[in-house]
Amino acid sequence: NEATVVFLSRSANEGFARTAAACFAAQLDPTLDEVNDIKTAVSEAVTNAIVHAYPNTLGKITMRMRLLEDLQLEIQIKDSGVGIPDVEQAMQEGFSTAGQTARELGFGAGMGLPNIKKYTDKMQIDTQIGRGTTMYLSVHVNQ
């Protein structure tokens, strides 16, 4: 089974994406901890797209979800924003490119990408400056 949702990079849509992913994953009968891990990973990935990919503007975020036969959930989160200049640096805890306004709103603590990696079994980032970023997340449930 698979599903795709497209939404604007508004902060209110982070909760929508998190809930949509959890509902979709429910087909695999995950544990509560697994659902929370999925929600956290999606929340971090979508928040990164909202805050970093589209600073000072709105853009589209596409989230594709796919269930595989081996109780694996694949999630792809794609934006067409500014891209990540240095993925290795962005993976470092505490590193953030968020501006002062985003930090004042509680975003940009530099834990997004490290948390996504922590709560997924596999994470891959494809990015191009000025063209956007696609994150590929994979989670096995009932392990």
Q: Give the pLDDT confidence of 12-61 residue by residue, as tens digits.
A: 999 999 999 999 999 999 999 999 999 999 998 999 899 889 988 999 99
- Three-class DSSP category at 141: coil
Please give the radius of gyration of the chain, using alpha carbons only, rounded to the nearest integer: 14
Provide the pLDDT for residue 81.
95
pLDDT per position as a tens digit, 73-106 = 999 999 999 998 877 777 666 555 554 444 454 5
Phi-psi region of 49 (alpha: psi -120 to 50; beta: other; left: phi over 0): alpha
State yes or no: is 115 an active-site residue: no
Handedness of CA 130, 51, 4, 66 (dihedral sign): positive
State yes or no: is 44 an active-site residue: yes
Task: List the Cα angle 86/88/94 in 5-degree steps.
Answer: 95
DSSP state of 94: T
DSSP state of 123: E
What is the pLDDT confidence band of residue 109, given thresholds at 50, 70 and 90?
Answer: very low
Which is catalytic among the residues 64, 74, 103, 115?
Answer: 103
Q: Quote the pTM value.
A: 0.84
